[in-house]
């Protein structure tokens, strides 16, 4: 039985991925800060839940060491993430540190903890959830976007380091997925930016935007494909929105992309 370790498994794409892999006959290690509260996942026969805060380096090392002392892990899915939304000038030091620790340093540190295991067995796959905003700019999500762009670039770079050990690093780039990521995120208000913030909130709440939503289950299916297709492919765009927008951005160039993103968000 193959085994996958999933961070951010208590909700959204992580939870859907845990349930899909379990249904496919995999052993699933579902990790999250509040995972112990999920009695549904904990009750599943081939899902083990573990508490893990990816912003805590010491906890990462101890949890991964404990899991690897008991199980041979084949795939790591770094899915934990959190959104910080608001004007960049208003972010506190704590908010900045948490964004980078959750969305960039956390996946890197969890990967580091698994790499000696993968290297010793000469095989393994690391899959990182990045973001469409890593390539297509989004106002008031600049630090989140920067962290996800960093993770995207890190994934491509470290993949080159690890191929000689038959370790593959891949990225999952969702479009607009119907999860609680924005609801659970941190929103920073600002009187100075109130008009622009209002326009962006309106754009996110527009029924036309809702029509672009894909499902967490659909993303989970792409993750399963990335874990099992046996290819050297690195980036996986998960839905039609991601594919369309990334294709447009490549054709536009950066300056036109900036203008396009501004029109979409601000009108």
Among all residues, which ones are annotated catalytic? 144
193/182 Cα distance (integer angstroms): 19
CB of 177 within 8 A of CB of 241? no
- Phi, psi of 15, rounded to the nearest 5 degrees: -65, -45
The DSSP bridge pattern shows strands 186-187 and 124-129 to be unpaired
55/254 Cα distance (integer angstroms): 32
171/133 Cα distance (integer angstroms): 13
Tally Cβ neighbours within 10 Å of residue 174. Answer: 24
Taking CA 173 as the corner, what is the angle to CA 172 and CA 178, rounded to the nearest 5 degrees?
Answer: 105
CA-based nearest residue to 24, from 193, 185, 216, 225: 225
Tally Cβ neighbours within 10 Å of residue 152. Answer: 19
């Amino acid at each position: 039985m193959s085994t996958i370790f999933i961070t951010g498994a208590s909700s959204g794409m992580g939870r859907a991925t845990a349930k899909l892999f379990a249904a496919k006959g995999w052993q699933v290690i579902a990790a999250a800060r509040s995972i112990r509260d999920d009695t549904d996942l904990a009750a599943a026969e081939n899902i083990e839940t573990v508490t893990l805060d990816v912003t805590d380096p010491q906890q990462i090392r101890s949890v991964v060491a404990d899991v690897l002392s008991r199980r041979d892990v084949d795939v790591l899915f770094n899915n934990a993430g959190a959104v910080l939304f608001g004007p960049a000038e208003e972010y506190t030091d704590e908010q900045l540190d948490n964004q980078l620790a959750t969305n960039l340093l956390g996946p890197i540190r969890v990967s580091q903890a698994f790499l000696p295991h993968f290297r010793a067995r000469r095989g393994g796959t690391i899959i990182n959830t990045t973001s469409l905003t890593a390539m297509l700019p989004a106002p008031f999500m600049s630090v989140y976007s920067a962290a996800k762009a960093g993770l995207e670039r890190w994934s491509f770079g470290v993949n080159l380091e690890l191929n000689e050990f038959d370790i593959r690093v891949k990225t999952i780039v969702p479009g607009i997925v119907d999860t609680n990521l924005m609801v659970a995120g941190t929103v920073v208000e600002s009187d100075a930016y109130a008009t622009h913030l209002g326009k962006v909130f309106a754009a996110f709440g527009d029924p036309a935007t809702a029509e672009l939503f894909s499902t967490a289950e659909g993303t989970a299916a792409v993750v399963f494909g990335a874990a099992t297709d046996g290819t050297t492919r690195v980036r996986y765009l998960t839905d039609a929105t991601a594919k369309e927008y990334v294709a447009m951005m490549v054709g536009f160039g950066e300056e036109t992309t900036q203008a396009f993103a501004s029109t979409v968000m601000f009108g």
